[in-house]
């Protein structure tokens, strides 16, 4: 279909291939994938934190990190000494929120409209900057809270949990220090969850330990970003109150991989 600027309309529900023909008759194909996170999972995006949305200077404290999902799950830290630090140019020219164990830096916020007890999709672009113990990345409260952690065990491996059924490592892969990765966690109907890096499946787990693991108790009726022990730079977080389809997962990773120049063995941007 010949394209006329400002006139031709296209359906971007699936990737489109544009063929550009030069004056000498040579051509080049470009695959275009529209990424629209707020429409995924039945419009279930409940948390969207982007460091590049913060209008701050390098080295500034981050007192508030606004949620761009539309659910108003904004994160904040009132204590000056415990605020993460805004750092520019950390990953593909993009900024990050830098959390340190020394400062006990963490943020908390409400859990508005996080209601699904059995389905959820969590994505984070981060790099750990030092090894510490009992490192919580994020806890989401909801009716059946979820926890995403880096605990003692395989160095820098990812652990995932759900209220009442405990947590466990979903793989034994170590993504090392100062290495930015887009990590995905997708839980579909059961307690089993998948661990995905940059679009590549790394492992699955059914949490079985710690049967009394309490995420939804009265002392934890809020979302928390780190528990103060994490040493990491965080560029972006998305949470959907649903299990995204494979196509939707690929679109999220296409967006994150392209934005932050992350590598994948799968062609998530045009598959």
pLDDT of residue 31: 82
Per-residue pLDDT of the chain (271 residues; tens, 9 = 90+): 898 989 999 888 777 899 999 999 999 998 887 788 999 999 999 999 999 999 999 999 999 999 999 999 999 999 999 999 999 999 999 999 999 988 999 999 998 888 887 788 999 999 989 887 778 888 887 666 777 877 554 555 777 776 666 667 777 777 788 999 999 988 876 657 788 999 999 888 775 544 444 555 444 567 899 988 889 999 999 999 999 999 899 999 999 999 999 988 887 876 4
Distance separating alpha carbons of residues 175 and 127, to the nearest angstrom: 8
Listing DSSP states for 39-63 in one string gives: GHHHH-EEEEEEGGG----TT-B--
Please list, in sequence order, all residues whose beta carbon lies within 8 angstroms of the beta carbon of residue 176, skipping any fewer than 6 positions away.
128, 156
Q: 223-225 and 107-109 as β-strands: parallel, antiparallel, unpaired?
A: antiparallel
Does domain 37-260 bear CATH number 2.60.120.200?
A: yes
Give residue for tokens 């799968």.
266
Q: Considering just the CA atoms, what is the radius of gyration of the chain in Å? A: 19
For 168, half-sphere exposure in the C-beta direction (CA atoms, 13 angstrom radius) is 17
Give residue for tokens 């941007």.
269
Distance separating alpha carbons of residues 95 and 111, to the nearest angstrom: 25
Distance separating alpha carbons of residues 230 and 216, to the nearest angstrom: 21
184 within 8 A of 197, measured Cβ to Cβ: yes
Q: Across the beta sheet with 75-76, what order do the strands follow? A: 64-65, 75-76, 107-109, 223-225, 135-140, 146-150, 159-162, 166-169
The SS3 call for residue 30 is strand
pTM (two decimals):
0.86
Phi-psi region of 93 (alpha: psi -120 to 50; beta: other; left: phi over 0): left
Closest to 65 measured CA to CA, from 48, 41, 81, 88: 48
Two tokens at 62?
Answer: 């981050």
């Amino acid at each position: 279909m010949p394209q006329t600027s400002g006139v031709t309309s296209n359906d971007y529900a699936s990737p489109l291939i544009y063929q550009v023909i030069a004056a000498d008759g040579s051509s080049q194909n470009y695959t275009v994938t529209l990424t629209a996170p707020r429409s995924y999972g039945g419009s279930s995006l409940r948390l969207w934190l982007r460091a590049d949305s913060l209008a701050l200077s390098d080295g500034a404290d981050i007192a508030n990190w606004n949620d761009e999902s539309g659910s108003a799950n904004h994160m904040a830290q009132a204590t000056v000494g415990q605020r993460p630090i805004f750092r520019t140019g950390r990953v593909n020219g993009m900024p990050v929120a830098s959390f340190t164990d020394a400062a006990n830096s963490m943020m908390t916020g409400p859990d508005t409209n996080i209601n699904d007890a059995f389905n959820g999709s969590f994505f984070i672009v981060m790099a750990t900057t030092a090894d510490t113990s009992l490192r919580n990345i994020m806890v989401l409260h909801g009716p059946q809270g979820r926890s995403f952690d880096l605990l003692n065990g395989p160095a820098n491996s990812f652990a995932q949990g759900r209220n009442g059924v405990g947590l466990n490592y979903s793989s034994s892969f170590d993504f090392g220090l100062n290495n930015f990765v887009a990590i995905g966690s997708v839980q579909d109907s059961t307690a089993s969850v998948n661990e995905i890096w940059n679009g590549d499946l790394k492992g699955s787990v059914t949490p079985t330990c710690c049967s009394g693991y309490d995420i939804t108790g009265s002392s934890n009726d809020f979302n928390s970003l780190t528990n103060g022990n994490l040493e990491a730079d965080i560029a972006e977080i998305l949470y959907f109150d649903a299990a995204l389809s494979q196509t939707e997962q690929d679109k999220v990773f296409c967006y994150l991989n392209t934005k932050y120049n992350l590598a994948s063995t799968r062609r998530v941007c045009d598959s």
